[in-house]
A and B are shown apart, each in its own frame.
Chain A
Amino acid sequence: MRVRNRGAAPDDGNAPPARGASAPPPDPDRAARRSRLWSQLDLKLSPYLFVSPYFLLFGVFGLFPVLFTFWISLHDWGLLAGKQEFVGLDNYAFLLGDEKFWNALANTLGIFFLAIVPQLMLALLLADTLNRSIRLRGFFRVGIIIPYVTSIAAMAIIFGQLFGREFGLINYGLETLGMGGIDWQNNRLASWTAIAVMIDWRWLGFNTLIYLAAMQAIPRDMFEAAAIDGASRLRQFFQITVPMVRPTIMFTVIISTIGQMQLFTEPVIFGQGYGGGTQGQFQTVAMLMFEEAMGAQNFGYGSAIAWVIFLLIVVFALVNVLSVGRIRSAN
């Protein structure tokens, strides 16, 4: 910058505002005042101009639809018929008595726990492992994150075949080991497991890297001191690593919650439709929403389900945030 200033000084006599007052050309005051005004205006308005694309687009395609969803949920509303009548909270009341909703909620939560608890624990262990001094560090990192680049559609097709009842590779493996094959689609717990495996396969590496990033911020000498004091590796893991990355664990729990409450694509492709298997044994809340909105054209009820998903996310997030606060204040 300094170099540029020095070079520019001799030949640009009257252009920059800072110099205007001392320069002699006609009407210097006015020119200087105008350019200062411009500069002031530029300084005041530019920030708003810069953030406006985000708020414009978010307003139109984010906030408005969310509020509109709530409005729709208060009506009897179909795609072709359009808005029919205001029914207040009827859609929500119906939802509370709808067996399909409770079934879908149970499925969503079941798959959530089946997928997220082992995934995050594994990710913690893996990150702790990668945080040691190891050879081929880059290779291992790339190796575990590779599934993250696969699209859900491609992944679900692959795993749909791996979990096939008759020709699936996983059942072949089980039979070779002398166990019976499993009907992954029609058995409820088995279908949850298959979907959980897909989720974990795709996201394990991602969460591992996030934990690894947090762990690298822990000072090395904490481990060294603990080791000198004779703490085993397991003990170091539970008494140093886990407490130090607790905020990050909460972060991943919240992110996973937001994702899992909306679980949709994996089970849709696994079962080739919104129904979630013959008995709805793996239909999630988001799938039920689509079934009502897209299949039955029942926008009002579909919107009510969408808002309940949103409320569930907010409640989960609040519980997590509160528990983080409690942990912090306890320390």
Chain B
Amino acid sequence: MSARTRTARRRAAPATGGARQAGPVTYVALSLTVLLSVFPLYWMVVIATRGNAAIAQRPPAVLPGTNFADNLSETLQNPQANFALGLLNSAIVASITAVSVVLFCSLAGFALAKLQFTGRNVITLGVVLTMMVPVQLAVIPMLIMMDTLDWRGQLQAVIVPFMVTGFGVFMMRQYALQGVPTELIESARVDGCSMTRTFFSVVLPALRPAMAVLGLLTFMQNWNEFIWPIAVLGPDNPTVQVSINQLNQGYVSDFSLMFTGATLATAPLLLVFVVFGRHLIGGIMEGAIKG
């Protein structure tokens, strides 16, 4: 950057309240970061809308082509990948886990934040500690358990273990501490509401913003889950991530198909993000402050 702008900014600094004002360098740096963030996704779409040869083209193709419809039908019909089933399965798995996580974590989070009972602090600490246990540590016994239950290759194997998360309980607790007025709960009790009824008619409505964020995050996480589905489901009854991996397994890889698969798997989340992005960002940031 030129010395002129720098001195100009320094001279202006005391008047505008310090160096909190952004200069052109800032905008260039930020734009570059955004460009680097978005480019791989853009590149994914470019290849998905072209033929297989585009990946090796010199100079590289930079604009989307017209082949998307062909690639799409070929991807969906690929016998190895089972893509349509994968998409359906992922939608089912991600929806059920999201609803269940939101419900169970709200219940537990509310109890830990607002109800008095013996062992509350110990249980809260326990929840925090369980967040540190790595999932992979459990993979081998989980596989043995799934064999015992005869759940191998079935969707409940990727749903039931994830119906509640420590992160979710903690997040809802943090939110309920401030977001649910104690007087509201007390007056519902005085009116003769049972605890369960109080929860559903008074607490849940108050928790709604946090529930939306947790639901979206859970949906994204389970939609994107890769290791466990590949270990326990396999290619016959895949989630969409397993399907993508199947496209990558052949001896001769068709890159435009792989990129079409990746686009298919990413598009729903991008859509969700475009619609709810601001809330998600707010949720992530809020979780960070309180966590």
Interface positions of A (Cβ within 8 A of B): 1, 4-5, 8, 15-18, 38-39, 42-44, 46-48, 50-51, 53-55, 57-58, 61-66, 68-69, 72, 79, 126, 129-135, 138-147, 149-155, 157-159, 161-162, 164, 166-167, 169, 172, 201, 204-206, 209-210, 212-214, 216-217, 220, 223-224, 226-228, 232-233, 236, 248, 251, 258, 261-262, 264-265, 269, 272, 286, 289-290, 293-294, 299, 302-303, 306-307, 309-310, 313-314, 317
B142:A65 contact, CB within 8 angstroms:
yes
B110: nearest chain-A partner, CB-CB: A50
State whether A143 touches B34 (Cβ < 8 A).
Answer: yes
A167 touches B55 (CB 8 A): yes
Q: How far is the CB of A30 from chain B (nearest CB, A)?
A: 17
Interface residues on B, range: 35 or more
Ordered by A's residue number, 18 sampled pairs between the chains whose C-beta atoms are within 8 Å are A1-B187, A53-B104, A66-B137, A69-B138, A126-B30, A129-B29, A131-B20, A135-B22, A146-B41, A147-B37, A149-B272, A153-B245, A157-B248, A204-B33, A209-B288, A214-B288, A220-B17, A309-B136
Collect the chain B residues with CB atoms within 8 Å of residue A303's CB.
Answer: 140-141
User: A72 touches which one: B21, B132, B141, B161 (CB < 8 A)?
Assistant: B141
For residue A162, which residues in chain B have a CB less than 8 angstroms away from its CB?
40, 43
For residue B252, CB closer than 8 A to chain A, the reply is: no
**Chain A-chain B contacts (Cβ-Cβ < 8 Å), number:** 303
Complex contact B17–A224 (CB within 8 A): yes
Taking a contact as CB atoms under 8 Å apart, the answer to whether B140 and A15 are in contact is no
Chain A residues with Cβ below 8 Å from B68 are: none
Given contact pairs A68-B141, A129-B22, A172-B59, enumerate 13 new A-B contacts (beta carbons under 8 Å): A47-B115, A50-B111, A53-B164, A126-B30, A132-B20, A144-B34, A145-B281, A147-B40, A153-B241, A154-B262, A227-B18, A228-B18, A269-B245
Q: Are the C-beta atoms of B130 and A51 separated by less than 8 Å?
A: no
B1 at the interface (CB under 8 A from A): no
Report chain A residues within 8 Å CB of B41.
Answer: 146-147, 150, 158
B3 at the interface (CB under 8 A from A): no
List residues of B (229-254) whose CB comes within 8 Å of A's CBs.
231, 241, 244-245, 248-249
The answer to whether B190 and A18 touch across the interface, beta carbons within 8 angstroms, is: yes
Q: Are A149 and B43 touching (Cβ within 8 A)? A: no
Q: Are A223 and B164 in contact (CB under 8 A)?
A: no
Q: Mark B39-61, 1 if CB is under 8 A from A, else 0.
A: 01101100100000001101110
CA distance A1 to B193 in the complex (A): 13
Q: Are B30 and A293 in contact (CB under 8 A)?
A: no
In the complex, are the beta carbons of B241 and A132 less than 8 A apart? Answer: no
Complex interface: chain A residues within 8 A of B29 (CB): 129
Alpha-carbon separation in the docked complex, A129 to B262 (Å): 32
Which of A51, A164, A236, A261 touches B112 (beta carbons < 8 Å)?
A51
Cα-based distance from A131 to B137 in the complex (angstroms)? 39
Complex Cα distance, B187 from A212, in Å, reads 39
The answer to whether B134 touches A172 (Cβ under 8 A) is no
Cβ of B63 under 8 Å from chain A: no
The answer to whether B17 and A150 touch across the interface, beta carbons within 8 angstroms, is no
B-chain residues with CB within 8 Å of residue A146 when the two chains form the complex: 37-38, 41, 270, 273
Secondary structure of the A side of the interface?
helix
CB-defined contacts of B196 to chain A, threshold 8 Å: 46
State A232–B199 Cα separation when bound (angstroms): 53
A65 touching B136 in the complex, CB below 8 Å, given contacts A42-B194, A54-B104, A153-B244:
no
- Of B33, B55, B134, B244, which one neighbours A261 at CB under 8 angstroms? B134
B132 pairs with A258, CB closer than 8 A: yes
- Write the nearest CB–CB distance from A5 to chain B, whole angstroms: 7
A201 and B19 contacting across the interface, CB-CB below 8 Å: no
Contact between B136 and A262 (Cβ–Cβ < 8 Å)? yes
Q: Please name the residue on chain B nearest to A223 by beta carbon.
A: B18
Q: How far is it, in angstroms, between the C-alpha of A234 and the C-alpha of B144 when the chains are bound?
A: 55
Q: Which residues of A contact B108 (CB under 8 A)?
A: 50-51, 53-54
A277 vs chain B, min Cβ distance (A): 16
